Each structure stands twice: as structure tokens, then as C-alpha cells.
Amino acid sequence: MVKPRASGPVSPYLMPGFYDRALAAGRHRDIVGGRWEETGEAQMRLLIEAGLQPGHRVLDIGAGSLRLGCLLVPWLEAGNYWATDLSGALMRRGWEEELADKSRLPLHHLVEDGDFAFPGLPDDFDLAICFAVFTHLPPGRTEAALARIGARFPRLKRLLFTVFHAPEGVESLRQRDGVVTHASRPPWHVPPARVAAMARTAGFDARPLDTRLPRGQVLWLAEPASLPPQMP
């Protein structure tokens, strides 16, 4: 997860001791939202549909305990996967418990980062995925995150990210899988037009895809506005 900065209600992931207690209880899979196999396989499928190739370099933003990483690392050429998360300990637990061949993922590729600063990361990623991260952030923080991604990775070809949608002016909405989302507290929802505007401000052309995702999240595909599509 990634750290929101907002007054009022915040994500439970920011509660003091949350990660320590969960990891001590062996709950590294549970605290990334459950549905481990279903969601990891969905993320992998989405990347392949977006044109992923084994030689591509991929950044997993908000990687948690490597629910996607444990599938993606053996699929990519060795060393081509990088990940960030608010909790470095959570990523390391995923590396220890879920990764079959640890030699394919150097530990320094797992970067603790709660501010979308991306310290020490290269800038030549082909694809990035930010799955179930912006749902924990207020829209202003999501807009800032998209801007940082666009500025930090000028050679990025495609970015996949998820949000919850709601019509303009709706405070609370029950999504199709039963999750109730909100305009002023987590889990957050955003009107589609605002998502498109935020992406455009960050230098991306973005559009929602008609892909059913766990808990009713909506997948967006963003590409640099200044470049033609790079992959089929």
C-alpha cells in the first residue's frame, strides 16, 4: 500500500503497528485484501493483455506481499521486476514465503516508498501497474501520484491502475461486488471524468477498460500523451 496524506479518516493500513501485528500472525496474504490467487491471476492476465513480454521491465506500485510478483517474477527475464510499497517488511515477507526462485529477484528491487518518490529506481520501465492503491487515497493524492509517475518515468509505455467509480456528487455507493465506497473517506471513489482529467494533467491519455475486477474496481489504461501507442 501507499501512504495517503489527508485529514480525516485514513486507510487502516496506517494504523500504528498494523503491519507488525499482521506479519507476526502470519497474515501477509490476508492484509492485501484476500482473494490471493484470484487477484494475482487477474493482474497477470491484465498485463499480458496490455502487451507484456518477458523482456519488459515492470514496476509494481503498491506490491504488498508480492501477490502479483510471485507470478510475474518467474515469467519475466530475471531482474526485470521492481516493486514499491509502504511496508518494506511486507514485501520482504512475500519474497521469503511466496517466491520459488529468489535468485530472480534481488532484494534491492523491493523499495519501501509511501510517497511515490520512487527512490533509487531506474527510469526505463516499459509497464507499471498500480492495483488497488488509489482506492485507498483521496483524489488529490491520486492526482499527485499520477503526476509523479508521469514525471519520474518518461519512457513508460503503459500504466495500468484501478479506481472505484461513482457519479459526480454521490457520497456513498455500493459497488457491484458489495463494497461500499465514499467520496470523503476510504475506500474512495472518483467520478470517471475526474480520473481522465487527473491522468491528462499528468501527461497521460487514459481510458477505462471493460474488464470485471474483484470488488468492482475499474481498470484504467494510461499511455503517454506525447507518444503513439508502443505495443498492440
Task: Read off the pLDDT of residues 104-143 as tens digits, 9 standing for 90 and up.
Answer: 999 999 999 989 999 999 999 999 999 999 999 999 999 9
Kindly report the backbone phi and psi dihedral angles of residue 200, in degrees, each rounded to the nearest multiple of 5, phi listed first.
Answer: -65, -40
Q: Say what the pTM is.
A: 0.90
| Domain housing 188 | 12-224
Q: Cell 504488498: give the residue.
A: 64
210 vs 223: CA distance, rounded Å = 17
How many domains, in total, are found in the chain? 1
Checking if the pLDDT of 229 tops 50, the result is no
Task: Read off the pLDDT of residues 152-210 as tens digits, 9 standing for 90 and up.
Answer: 999 999 999 999 999 999 999 999 889 999 999 999 999 999 999 999 999 999 999 99
CATH number at residue 140: 3.40.50.150
Within 10 angstroms of residue 96's Cβ, the number of other Cβ atoms is 12
Q: What is the mean pLDDT of residues 87-99?
A: 95
Is the residue at 40 inside a domain?
yes
Is the residue at 4 inside a domain?
no
Task: Read off the pLDDT of residues 38-91 as tens digits, 9 standing for 90 and up.
Answer: 899 999 999 999 999 999 999 999 999 999 999 999 999 999 999 999 999 999
16-41 burial by CB neighbour count: b if 16+ within 10 A, else e? eebbeebbeeeebbebbbeebeebbe
